[in-house]
A and B are shown apart, each in its own frame.
Chain A
């Protein structure tokens, strides 16, 4: 089901003035995959989403989409940026009208915003960040996108709405094989829907693993001596012992390690990689 490449990034180059963000960057995303892009601040995660969404133009290379996206692929891409870009002076009703006219939509599904206290007469600038996020998501989901690009905004929604949103996302993903790329630094809520984790480092892919593989390969070793047989990503020292975050770990190495091997959740795994970069 997920063999078809939905997004094909070839030799992508992009820079902000003299600051190179990507040079000959390549990435394939199969249709229906839920992909998490992570990395330290400023590594280019949001830039990558903006390039895929078409709101930034690459300096070189190309971003290709599956034929089923049609001639204007932007019609099938839903993008929510971290700045929640909308026309703030419009009311909710006017924004819905605007969106419907641009996408030639007959109807607008209000099921998501029905759970919020958003009124149609409210101006967008009067909405809270969480309300704005939910409203933006409603606008995007009404266009029935094939690709959903979500940039670090899920944490701005309150726990109740976040649950509703994620439930809807899971439902959509299973019903329509939606391809989702998320940029996030807070993984607790999304861990169960993410299938692939991509960690960016210096404009390149440092880690690209299925989440189950990643969980099998990244471990925490509690020991008083540094493990010799497996590379250490980062470590935290305590008075009587240290915690070593290692990658890639293999089960067969267990016997050779002096210490306790502990499984990690996604937040801890990413922290281990990011911690290593800051060290």
Chain B
């Protein structure tokens, strides 16, 4: 099974890599039509960042794509594999390719001005994976991930602002303190989401989805609502303080 999942994860990576075709297209577009004088490295940076963001999102969200597309849940669940093993086989290859992409981004950052927060990519991957069980449409999935990822980044900033005493001058997204708050916020978001995902997947069967998501929704929806309430209240206070 691991072989199949590696192959699926690799295919997804290749699909995302198609975005890199934008590099020669961008060069041609510039040379033939707009004549802005874009550098090859600039276009490459943009497209590389796009690829590196697209992969965790697509890989996480499509974790059960082959089962949903082929109605193969029935086959998968009839196999003598524990739910833990299934999940491990699905997540491990996708996560490994994500780590390779992050390493590649670090490598490119040495030569050029690419700033990618690898930790945030991991957060995107897990948000996508944890949402994958409940969402069948890729477009709705992307909207959902944006919503949850935004909750994560804004809550992390809000906590950061409390820590630095509401002083925008002291705010630095790439500081060690910011990373610590990212870690804390990611844990606060991903632990309930992961628990809801596992509780649902552990008992998941071939019944229609709507009858299986009760406990998942009871955990995930309040979690994200708490996040947004927290963000709204704190930023309201920040606005009052900054006059």
Contact = CB atoms under 8 A, between A and B. Distances in A.
Contacts of A72: 80
A17 B211 contact: yes
Contact of A103 (B66, B75, B80, B205): B80
A163 interface: no
Interface size class of B (residues with CB under 8 A): 20 to 34
B71 interface: yes
A56 B77 CA distance: 9
A55 B77 contact: yes
A28 interface: no
Contacts, number: 69
Given A17-B211, A57-B205, A102 B79 contact: yes
B75 A56 contact: no
B75 A87 contact: yes
Name the residue in B3, B69, B77, B203 with the highest tally of chain A Cβ atoms < 10 Å from its Cβ. Answer: B77
Residue from the set B69, B77, B80, B207 with the largest chain A CB neighbour count within 10 Å: B80
A90 B69 CA distance: 13
Nearest to B211: A17
B78 interface: yes
B1 A101 contact: yes
Contacts of B1: 98, 101-102
A97 interface: yes
A83 B78 contact: no
Contact of B3 (A74, A97, A103): A97
B208 interface: yes
A89 interface: yes
A90 B205 contact: no
Interface of A: 16-17, 50, 53-57, 72, 74-75, 77, 79, 81, 83, 85-90, 94, 97-98, 101-103, 125
Interface of B: 1-4, 66, 69-75, 77-81, 203, 205-208, 210-211
Given A17-B210, A85-B70, 5 more contacts: A50-B74, A55-B205, A98-B1, A102-B1, A103-B80
